[in-house]
Amino acid sequence: MRTHRQLVVYESVLQALHEPGCPFCRFLKEFQTARLQNHSMENIHGVCNFHAWGLAAVQNAPAAAQVLIKLVAEPPSLSEADSACDVCREVLSEEDLRLREFVSRISRPDVSQWLRGPAVLCIPHGTKLRTQVQPVVAARIDAIIENYRHQLGQELQHLRDEPDPDRAGWGAIGRAAEFLVSQRGLHS
């Protein structure tokens, strides 16, 4: 596999508010990539299916080989494989931190404006976020999810009813997948 490089380094989920898609997915995707690229080799004791392949995709061959030698020598049992993923645990911990960060800054003008504007949230992050906010904000999150559900439904119907392999719009399928289950590898 070729090595892929991380393009953006976010320090706060608020930096991802005006990027396309769910800001939590965007932030965590970059966090996950950074962890796979820069992870301390001695700290990896287990990886799930997704992160094993991710490690192979983003690390240089000697570094990936070093981690995989260790994992091959002492693999976890199949029943422990997904729950023993160090990268999954780090991503979930970072997700919790970023949800709390967002909630703590919800009264900031830029966050309030984003919530009232063309905001996008995936169902998993919207669901987690709405449990941590006041009812009026939870109602706004519900509206954001429903607006995006409607928009995606229209895009997907158009794609289904007027297929043309040369036309733009195939990205709606990926956006629908993110909306339903978040970015690939963030939740199992």
The domains of the chain are located at 13-181
Q: How far apart are CA 110 and CA 30, in angstroms?
A: 22
Smallest Cα–Cα separation from 160: which of 150, 170, 145?
170
Q: Can you give the pLDDT at residue 1?
A: 35
pLDDT reading at 5 higher than 80: no
Mean pLDDT of 173-177: 89
Alpha helices in the chain (DSSP H): 23-38, 49-58, 61-73, 86-104, 109-116, 123-130, 135-161, 171-181
Q: How far apart are CA 76 and CA 48, in angstroms?
A: 10
Q: Can you give the pLDDT at residue 87?
A: 86
**Tokens in use for 153?**
């439904």
Smallest Cα–Cα separation from 184: which of 51, 58, 80?
51
CB distance 121 to 148 below 8 Å: yes
The pTM (predicted TM-score) of the whole model is 0.84
CB distance 182 to 122 below 8 Å: yes
Give the CA angle between residues 104, 109, 114 to the nearest 5°.
Answer: 85
pLDDT tens per residue across span 66-105: 888 888 887 665 555 446 788 899 999 999 999 999 999 9
Q: How far apart are CA 154 and CA 15, in angstroms?
A: 29
